[in-house]
Every structure is written in structure tokens, then in C-alpha cells.
Structure 1
């Protein structure tokens, strides 16, 4: 195997690096699958069984943890809060970032390179650095404890979405756009009736990736949604950690509930995500 990984000079070949990276990714994937599987299995165990059988399948599976979480703890409200927040955020984020990226891809104007660099820098700036002015701004607008206020922050954090859309729109055939202009179509008409329908892969990719990001986000909801009736699923799960030993059976059930949408997206749309990310990488 060593000969396959190295050439005659002793340097690691390209195929050798691919093998090493593949092994690392396989090990990482196995660890991830094991942890997810243990979380799901533990959600069906009682507190007593978790003490005696932390790792392994439940000996006597029970739905008591899910009953407690849904009926007694009211997790249905937190799930609906998360769904509402994600829906509003995705609509705003996708509309704004896609239209901005299309304009940047199709038109030349002063300051274009500066704006492109600005959005690129945005990927390197953590939101924690600007949390104080953001909180003061939403507080003055009376939009704390508001899904719309938090959704505006998610929509403003559009650097990643913009760059993905922009890369795809740069590869659009200009002859098609010019032909539509010659037929009298306006820019908005071209975007909504021509560009959007042929860009479904990249729209799906951005939507799915941002769904996962917003669904799992903990920091911004913790800051801007302090009232319990506005808590998202991640905040509800975090509330159990204050007394972990007392609530750890419920934590596994709550974490499993939060995992379900992510797992569904992965199994159903993983190919679309890859296709969307690579759709604009090469010209036809």
C-alpha cells in the first residue's frame, strides 16, 4: 500500500492523497453515524436504563420521553416557532440574495469590485462581533422577541448565498438574456420568468443549506428571542442543560426531534445539494 501512496522519489502521489483523505472522511462519517444512532437509541431509554446501558440499543424501548417532551413540556410550540422563523428567513434571504447576485452578474457599474470584496469579507466576519449594535438597532425598532426582526438579520447575512447565486448566474448564456431583451422583456420579467425556472438546482441548494444553518442556530435566538413563548427548538433543548442529570432522558428525545428534519433533508436532497453547488463551476 505504501508503494501505491508514494512515487519513486518518496513523495505522496495525488491518488495517495485522495486515499488518505478518503480514509479520514470514512472514519469521521462512522463516528458521526455512531453518535447520531446512539442519540436516537438513547431517546427510547428510561433514565434508569441510561445509567446502566448508556451505549447500546434500548432493552425495553419506551415513548415516555417523547410523551413528556410533547405533552408536558409543550415542544409543539417550539417546533412551530422554529418552522415559522426558518420559513420567513428563507423567503427573505433567497429573494434578496438571488436578485442582488443576478444584478451583480449581469451589469457593470462603479464600485462593483468593492461590493464583491465586501460580500467576500462578510464570510470571515462572525456575527458575534456586531451583536451589540444589532441588538440596539432591533431594540429601538421594537423588534426583539419578533420572528420578523430575527429573520431580517438572517436575510442580511447573505454573503454565502450571494456568492453561490453569483457564481451560477455568471455562467448563464448571454444570448438568452439578450434575446429576451430584444423581445421587449423587462429585467424583472427576465429574472422571474426565465432565470429562476432554469436555476432551480442552485435555489434548492441555497435553500436547503440555509435551512440547516438557521434551524440549528442557537446564538441569535438566544439573544433576540428571550421570552419563553418565542423560544425555538434549540433554545428549548438548551433549557434542559441547566440540570442535565435530571433531564438527560428528555434531552435525547428533544435532540432526536431536532435531528429528524436534517436527516430527512440529507437523505432526500443530498444529490441536489451537490448538483447545485457544482452547477455553475463549468461552462457548457
Structure 2
């Protein structure tokens, strides 16, 4: 009886300890979410204000909403070209990145070979290495093959940064039902056909997750485009927005409109696919 009471007291103590941790963590995330929503909302509202109203009424709702800032950004400043450059860069990068990382992860998850652990460690180290450390050799390499100021050249660099996509795919592919794959091989399907016809259809959540997270990363990136795309005709949306900051007091009404344009695709993707992101990230974390 005494032992039972002791166990109950210990169990209750652990539960109270977990609850004590959950409360401040939950409050932190609630506060962080509120600040983020406020900043995003304020940016969108400010994009419909004139420069004079921004000075007089920065945090309030626009009294006379105007589309002039968007007209200036799109028509007079030619932002459609920069948006097109960003879209092309994202598409090229994602196609290469998803193809290489998923096929590599599938091969490593299904087969054992000498040096496999070493290769996994290599990708783990890649997560800890900032790209800034290797920027000089990367620049020299692209310069020698004539791919500076070239969107496909920069897409190759993004595709080569496959540590995170590889690890997400790898953890998911480890949980694939082996009888299903073996039955496909018995029916005469090779590895490539098995990957295309069986693995990809049942792996849609993880493909959606990797694709969306990498889309946001590439779409928002500023450092690599700044280094490898100095010419204006190939610049991305982030570089075009940065060009306004040289004279912030003169252009801050246009900055709000340009930033809103950059935010819209990200917000749409997150609202539509947020459930798939969570599903894809957690699908390979537990074993059946």
C-alpha cells in the first residue's frame, strides 16, 4: 500500500513538472504568434497607405486605401520581371533538389553498403555548415564555368544544398512497408519504376513538406542572389526590395507594397498546405 502511494506521488510529481514546463512554453509561442500576426498584418495594411498617411497614421487602418504603391511597384519599377526571376529560380531549384535528394534517400534507405554511416554523417555535418564559409570557392567555381549572373547556375547551388531534404526523405523512406516494395520487385518492377509508381504516390506528404519548406527558403533568400546575381536584369524579388532601402525615407511606402507582394505566395502556401507540412515532418518520426 505504501509502495503504491509512493508511485502515485512520483507520477503526480512528474505530471506537475511537465505542466510547469508547458505553461511558459505555450505562453511564449502564443506571444510570438501574436507579434508575428501583428507585423504581417501591419505590413499589408501599410501597403495601401500614402506616404503622408504613413507618417500621420502608421499603426492604424488606412483611411483612404490606395493601390498607387502597387501600380508604382509593378508598372513603373517593373517588379513583374523580378517576380518572374524568383519563380524561375525556385522552380529550377526545386526540381533538381527534390529529384536528387529523394532518389538518394530512397537508395540509402533500401540498401546497405560500405561507408553508408560515413555518408549519413556527411549530410549531418552539412546541416551545421553555413554557406558563407564556402562562398569563395563556390564563386570561383561558377565563375570558371561562366554561370555568374545566371539563374540556372544559382539553382545548381540550391540543389546541392540537400542535407535537410535528404534527411527528411531518408527518415520517411525507412518506414516504407517492405512487403509492398518486395511484391513490386517480384512483379518485375525495377528500382526506378518502383520509385516512380509506388514510392512517390505514397510519399506525397513528405514531398509536399520538403517542397514547401525549400520554396520558402529559396524564395526569401537574399545572400546567394546578392553574391551570384549582381546584374539587375537577373535579380530576384528580394534584391529588388533591398534596392529600395538605399533611400528608405523616400521609398518606404513602396517598400511595404513590395514586401507584401513577396509575402503573399508564402502565406497562401502555408494556409493551404500547413496540415501536410506537419504530417510530412512527423510521418517518419515514429515506427508502426
Task: Tell me whether the two structures share a fold, i.e. TM-score over 0.5.
Answer: yes
Choose which of 133, 141, 146 in structure 2 pairs with 1:142.
146
Distance 1:236 1:188 in 2: 41
**TM (normalized to structure 2)?**
0.94
- State how far apart, in whole Å, the 2-side matches of 1:49 and 1:189 are: 60
How far has the Cα of 1:283 moved from its partner? 2.5
Q: 1:91 aligns with which of 92, 95, 99?
A: 95
Q: Which runs of 5+ in 2 are unaligned?
A: 1-10
Unpaired stretches in structure 1, ≥5 consecutive residues? 1-6
- In structure 2, C-alpha distance between the alignment counterparts of 1:11 and 1:271, rounded to whole Å: 29
Structure 1 equivalent of residue 42 of structure 2: 38
What SS is found at the alignment partner of 1:13?
A: helix
Q: Does 1:50 align with 2:54?
A: yes
2:79 is equivalent to residue 75 of structure 1? yes
Change (3 A) 1:113 1:10: closer
Q: Please identify which structure carries the higher helix content.
A: 2
Equivalent position of 1:207 in the other structure: 211
Does residue 249 of the first structure (1) align with residue 253 of the second (2)?
yes
Q: Is residue 2:245 matched to residue 1:221?
A: no
C-alpha distance in structure 2 between counterparts of 1:61 and 1:181, whole Å: 62
Distance (whole Å) between structure 1 residues aligned to residue 173 and residue 118 of structure 2 = 19
The superposition leaves residues 196-215 of structure 1 with CA deviations (integer Å, 9 ceiling, x where unpaired) of: 11101100000000000000
Say if 1:23 and 1:170 are closer, same or farther in 2 by CA, change over 3 A. same
1:166 and 2:170 are equivalent in the alignment: yes
Asked whether 1:17 is paired with 2:54, we answer no
The answer to whether 1:126 aligns with 2:130 is yes
Q: Tell me the CA shift for residue 138 of structure 1.
A: 0.3
- In 1, distance between residues paired with 2:42 and 2:16? 37
Cα RMSD (Å): 1.4
Q: 2-side partners of 1:282 and 1:10: how far apart? A: 23
Which residue number in structure 1 is paired with residue 3 of structure 2?
Answer: none
Aligned residues: 278
| Secondary structure of 1:123 counterpart | helix
Following TM superposition, by how much is the alpha carbon of 1:9 offset from its aligned partner in structure 2, in angstroms? 7.3
What whole-Å deviation, never above 9, does each CA across 1:13-71 have from its counterpart, x for those lacking one? 10221121111000000000000011011101111111111111111111110000000
Q: Does 2:154 correspond to 1:154?
A: no
Query: How far off its partner does 1:184 sit?
Result: 1.6
Q: CA deviation at 1:266?
A: 1.2
* 1:175, distance to aligned residue in structure 2 (A): 1.3
Paired with 1:35 and 1:138, the residues of 2 have a C-alpha distance of 38
Please state how far the C-alpha of 1:154 moved relative to its aligned partner: 0.3
* Aligned position for 2:70: 66
TM-score (norm 1): 0.95
Please give the alpha-carbon distance, in whole angstroms, between the structure 1 residues aligned to 2:149 and 2:12: 64
Q: Distance in 2 between matches of 1:186 and 1:10?
A: 51
Residue 202 of structure 2 is aligned to residue 198 of structure 1: yes
- Per the alignment, residue 7 of structure 2 pairs with none
